[in-house]
Structure 1
Amino acid sequence: MTEARDPSDRAPQSEPGDEAPALRSSDPAVLRALAHPLRVEILAVIDELEEATATQIAERVGESPSNCSFHLRTLEKAGFIVRAEAKGTSKPWRSAHRSRDLRPDPDDIDSVRSSSTIGALYVQHEADRMIKFLTAHGNGKLPEWVNGVTVNISTFWATPDELAEVAEEIAHLVDRFRGRHDDASLRPVGSHKSHFFATLNPDLDAPLTGAEPAAD
């Protein structure tokens, strides 16, 4: 699973002087810390607001501040978040990274399982967000945006290498918007913050092309 808050955040390593580095980890212990639905929600809120207190997060996710604080400490211990600069008595949190690449080590079954759990949680999170969007804005109030909204499902045959090529192409589809997250002057008049959500997977329950049929 990979996640970037801005297209320019896809570099696997941080540049000298960057305040927030990119995260690349397949460590099962690190992955397990995020493999919880509420922690995924909490991290999504922090990413959206950039800085948020336990109270602000609790209001967004419908949990108590004390419960959110517990999960925040777990995320901090795993290195996903850090304390932001205090504002009076307010003690907000911020993401420790500008992007996260949590693809598993294919030779480590615990890594694969934990990364898969995180991926499933993010799919659910993004599916819920898209459902809310379509439900709230599907009445045609904003017709100029209709052609930019899509739910696309495709079926095709591909080898592992070909599928990996498609995944790489998808990862760079929004590179043209690079830098707009941090520099508002780069955003054209009339632009909205937008969300891109894509899934790609082989159907491992279907027969492999050229494979011998299983014996009865």
Structure 2
Amino acid sequence: MTSANCQSNLWHMRVTDPQAIKALTHPMRLDLLELLATSSPATAAQCARILGVPQANCSFHLRQLAKYGFVEDAGPGDDRRERQWRIVDPRPTIRIDSGGDQLLRRQLEDVVIDRETAAIRAYTAREQDESPPWRQALGMATAVAALTPEEAADLRAKWLSLLEPYLRRDDDPRSDRRHVRYFFAATPLGETR
């Protein structure tokens, strides 16, 4: 995240409407977007079972996401009684411009940081349940590097470039591929001079 925008692996659209940005500041809506990005289409009932929340909550939040163009109706489900939802783009990337509204930007950043922190903690709690190949492939990396602003921007661009080919490919159900969450944050240390 930067002070000007917030970027995640969710959509291929630029969001500038403050109301649409505010719609994303609810953690369940981000959970639903992430779920639909990996398991679309899905009904509100299916989303509720996976997320462990009431179906009515999922229905409400899916309608709010649809109101701002983040998800769309995918037609009736198998039983023809319940609506299915899907994300608008199958491999989305979202770029958010708060238009200088620092409070709105901060609200969305706080939600994203809290969600990512919770996901990291949840993984570390269940890490031993993973197979050895997955345990060796996953985990955290931390470092402190001395960089100029230009070098920091270059490093961020390279990191995003490394991820790009993996974000754009179709899933092969016969492979052992799983959705893996990545979170990049570059934060300067406090001045020591």
Task: Calculate the TM-score normalised by the size of structure 1.
Answer: 0.72
- Distance (Å, rounded) in 2 between the aligned partners of 1:122 and 1:181: 25
| 1:161 corresponds to 2:154 | no
| Stretches of 4+ aligned residues off by more than 3 angstroms | 175-180
Q: 1:27 maps to what in 2?
A: 17
Contact 1:26 1:103 in 2 (8 A): yes
**Structure with greater strand share of residues:** 2
Structure number with larger C-alpha Rg: 1
Matches within 5 A, 1:1-216: 1-4=6-9, 22-87=12-77, 88-97=80-89, 98-104=91-97, 108-110=99-101, 112-138=102-128, 142-177=131-166, 179-182=168-171, 184=172, 191-203=176-188, 206-207=190-191
Task: Calculate the TM-score normalised by the size of structure 2.
Answer: 0.80
Q: 2:3 maps to what in 1?
A: none
Contact 2:38 2:179 in 1 (8 A): no
- Distance (Å, rounded) in 1 between the aligned partners of 2:165 and 2:31: 28
Query: Structure 1 residues 201, 82: CA separation in 2 closer, same or farther (over 3 Å shift)?
Result: same
- Distance (Å, rounded) in 2 between the aligned partners of 1:100 and 1:74: 19
User: Identity of counterpart residues, as a percentage?
Assistant: 23
- Distance (Å, rounded) in 2 between the aligned partners of 1:58 and 1:73: 14
Contact 1:54 1:68 in 2 (8 A): yes
Cα RMSD, aligned residues only = 2.7
- Distance (Å, rounded) in 2 between the aligned partners of 1:199 and 1:85: 36
- Distance (Å, rounded) in 1 between the aligned partners of 2:156 and 2:181: 14
- Distance (Å, rounded) in 2 between the aligned partners of 1:178 and 1:68: 26
Q: 2:8 is paired with a residue of what secondary structure? A: strand
Q: Could you tell me which amino acid in structure 2 is paired with residue 26 of structure 1? A: T
- Distance (Å, rounded) in 2 between the aligned partners of 1:31 and 1:2: 12
Give, in angstroms, the shift of residue 82 of structure 1.
Answer: 0.4
- Give unmatched runs, 5+ long, in structure 1: 6-20, 210-216
- Distance (Å, rounded) in 2 between the aligned partners of 1:142 and 1:121: 31
Contact 2:12 2:95 in 1 (8 A): no
- Distance (Å, rounded) in 2 between the aligned partners of 1:102 and 1:118: 12
Contact 2:25 2:108 in 1 (8 A): yes
- Distance (Å, rounded) in 1 between the aligned partners of 2:186 and 2:21: 20
- Distance (Å, rounded) in 2 between the aligned partners of 1:125 and 1:197: 12
Q: Could you tell me which amino acid in structure 1 is paired with residue 104 of structure 2? A: S
Q: How many residues align?
A: 185
- Distance (Å, rounded) in 2 between the aligned partners of 1:203 and 1:34: 26
